[in-house]
Amino acid sequence: MSKPLPEVTPNTWSFLRDAMIKPTGFREYDARWKYPEEINLPGMTALGLGLGTQMRRRGIEPVIAVGNDYRDYSLAIKNALILGLMQAGIQVKDIGPALSPMAYFAQFHLDVPAVAMVTASHNPNGWTGVKMGFDRPLTHGPDEMAELRDIVLNGDGEPAPGGSYEFVEGVKEAYIDDLVGDFTMSRPLKVVCATGNGTAAAFAPEIFKRIGVEVVDSHNRLDYTFPNYNPNPEAMEMLHDMAASVKASGADLALGFDGDGDRCGVVDDEGEEIFADKVGVIMARDLSKLHPNATFVADVKSTGLFASDPELQKNGVKADYWKTGHSHMKRRVKEIGALAGFEKSGHYFLAEPVGRGYDCGMRVAVEVCKMLDRNPDKSMSDLRKALPKTWSTPTMSPYCADTEKYAVLERLVQKLVAKHEAGEQLADRAIKEVVTVNGARVILDNGSWGLVRASSNTPNLVVVCESSESESEMRAIFADIDAVIRTEPLVGEYDQTI
């Protein structure tokens, strides 16, 4: 195995022979590249050899479940990855086209230690990547990703004998059976099922019908060109489309899924788009009645209600705010024995006895239906309105290059901490504290807050603000946070704003 050559470029002789891998594709908790501009098929084979080498060095049994999402190039990329895994002496169990949570499920179903899922998640077409893990239900975090990056980029992948390939039938059916169990709805429920023509279209409608839900289809024909919108239930375009479908059909709610099915978005019966952290509080209220004194993990982008909601306090809930990112959250849920973790991006981590601890949009959808079944006199909007009122922004992402964003963020954190230490105000209120576990979460004296952190997946910063007082205060918090951000000339325009 020769070292990956950075000078390899598309449409050259060496591009068809030698590995090309852009180093920035190795992110905090998965790997993502533009294909073929940033990685080629030999590069993906080098990644497979590196991943297999990492398994062997760590003493992991050399068996792995591998799947791919529904994009026209994902099968070729998966096959290139498999070739590298087999070179490393790994026994590959190919589960075929899959959702990411179906691949995680396969680790349990097939009793294998490792998983590699070829997916660009919610990124638009032109992107690819791999989510991988060795310690179910966990996936690689920063340490594992750094180790893998060094093996691959240094050309340290080690071929070994014993590699094999097997295509495994029936995992999709077993996954759906595991989700549904023997549950059926006891109340009528009409749900807009929105998949944005992504991989979840092959799963979600069938799951809803199995539990007795009436399905209103919304872009549920598999189409890897994504002709309507990119499947991402955090994006307002998808949420607005879901809301329009609810209003047109008179549905009880809409549930929408991202490109690889590990996230779920919710719109209620009034067409109100409920951000995922608020859905998490609604679910935590319901689950904490069944499981008093439970611990719930929330990421730093999430609402302050996990700590302040009187209903959760009454049920003895302990809130733990942690680093954003599906690998960070999964690991935290497992480490502290939490019942569930909720991330504002729509990743939910439902642990035993509800789920298996990994993020699964389909599991969330089933549990939301079960929650409504347990509350037959309540609508989704009733459950939303029962929460204390807060005003929050969408997740906003100003551009900042991958090579610059962490240094920029470090300077922004220092500036915001300095404001606090100097006794300066934000949105005309005193700053109570600045939490720096993951970027800077600036908390005001009334519990309102604003956050800036670096995206782990894309060349962006991430900005979220929430007020417990008013929309005007929320906008003031954003304006003051943005004013600090604008002191950094390397930060570009927002993808969306308020």
Query: How far, in Å, CA of 451 to CA of 139, rounded?
Result: 25
Distance CA 464, CA 481 (A): 10
> Which sign does the torsion angle of CA 277, 348, 185, 188 carry?
positive
Q: CA 106, CA 101: separation in Å to the nearest integer?
A: 8
Q: What is the 3-state secondary structure (H, E, C) of 155-182?
A: CCCCCCCCCEEEECCCHHHHHHHHHHCC
- If one counts every other C-beta atom within 10 angstroms of the C-beta of residue 7, the result is 8
Strands 425-426 and 461-467: unpaired
Answer whether 415's CB lies under 8 Å from 408's CB: no
Catalytic residue among 74, 100, 121, 455: 121
Q: Render the burial of 230-262: b for 16+ CB within 10 Å, e for the rest.
A: bbbbbbeebbebbbebbeebebbbbbbbbbbbb
Which amino acid would we find at residue 435?
Answer: V
State residue 391 phi and psi, 5-degree precision: -120, 120
Beta-carbon contacts of 331 under 8 Å, excluding residues fewer than 6 positions away, are 138, 141
> Is 472 marked active-site?
no
Question: Could you tell me which residues come within 8 angstroms of residue 310 by beta carbon, excluding any fewer than 6 positions away?
Answer: 388
Nearest-angstrom CA–CA distance, 369 and 190: 10
- How far apart CA 122 and CA 200 sit, in angstroms, is 12
Dist. CA 326–CA 402, nearest whole Å: 19
Give the helix/strand (H/E) hosting 430: strand 429-435
Could you give the residue numbers annotated as active site? 121
